[in-house]
Amino acid sequence: MKSKWIFFHRATQSSLWMMLGMAACLILLANTLTAQDNKSAEQKWENFDPAKFDKNSINITNEWMPLKPGMRFVYAGTTLSDEEEPLAHRVIINVTDLTKEINGVNCVVSWDLDYSGGELVEAELAFFAQDKEGNVWRMGEYPEEYEDGEFAEAPHWIGGLQDAIPGISMLANPWAGTPSYSQGWGPKVGFTDRGQVDEMGLATCVPMGCYDNVMVIKETSEEEPGIFQLKYWARGVGNVQVGFKGDDPSAELLELVDVMQLKGENLVEMREQALELEKAAYGRKVNKKVYALTKPCVVRSEIKDKGKDMKMMKDKE
């Protein structure tokens, strides 16, 4: 009787272990298939369609990335030089009152300045548009890079030219767990940036203040696998902090230190400086196949009309 019980007990244990093993294999298979599904869902570029946009494309009201004309965001922190020496780093994002038509869509123009060690190393025109669902798209960008104060190169891409495709800068309804998305596809200049919501509901403090319910988006590219730039976003404000994960050679760290709304002459000055960069872009021979083919930036119609009204009032006086 005892031997039969031992045999039954051992058989039961054996069956149990077999069932546990099969369950583990099924879980592993399910995780593998899920990973494959997520990977297949992550297209190299987004399905861009101008029909997704309307006349309100320049009114960027996405709560995570509001872009109002005249807004200036100033970031300060550190980065590493080519010799891995820490350098003071400062980035200024200027939302101009200019617009530019790209791929049949009217876009907001930002004029951005990047300083390292007190020296301007990059000036950029970036173009954004909001679709009817509330997604903010990056339609293209024109960065000029400088070395020792002299122009070095302009690795730019514009949606619709040289196989470039606009990408998403901010989702209308971002939440953790969604697949990564293309932030733009510029194969001729190696622009393959991707973003993915990494965390939500965080709290962080920077010189401009403390923020709750902060969202972190991790950004990477095909050229730098395993290296991530981490951007912290606060509702109603935008990007408030920048960090990194992985062996990032630049080790860029930034915090929002100032936000201001420029008006009147200061707004006009911002506009004129942005137009100076566009003038340089049109004038450089290396840009004849891309930027030279784009329509010029123009002042937003409501700003232009307001300026005309003020001039008429002054003339009557």
User: What mean pLDDT do residues 261-276 have?
Assistant: 98
72 neighbors 92 (Cβ within 8 angstroms): yes
Q: What is the pLDDT of residues 74-100, one digit of tens each?
A: 999 999 988 888 999 999 999 999 999
User: What mean pLDDT do residues 243-260 have?
Assistant: 94
3-class state of residue 237 by DSSP: coil
Q: Measuring CA to CA, how many Å separate 157 from each of 45, 69, 99, 292?
A: 14, 23, 17, 12
Sorted by where each starts, the structural domains of the chain and their CATH numbers stand as 50-264 (2.40.360)
Q: What is the pLDDT of residue 43?
A: 84
* pLDDT of 36 higher than 50: no
227 neighbors 246 (Cβ within 8 angstroms): yes
- DSSP E strands in 103-160: the ranges are 105-116, 119-130, 136-147, 150-153, 157-158
Average pLDDT for the chain: 88
Residue 306 pLDDT class (50, 70, 90 cuts)? low
Q: Measuring CA to CA, how many Å separate 290 from each of 161, 162, 276, 281?
A: 6, 7, 18, 10
Q: What is the pLDDT of residue 21?
A: 52
pTM of the model: 0.84
For residue 229, give both structure tokens.
């730039």
Nearest to 127 by CA among 157, 155, 151, 92: 157
User: What mean pLDDT do residues 213-221 have?
Assistant: 97
Residue 1 pLDDT class (50, 70, 90 cuts)? very low
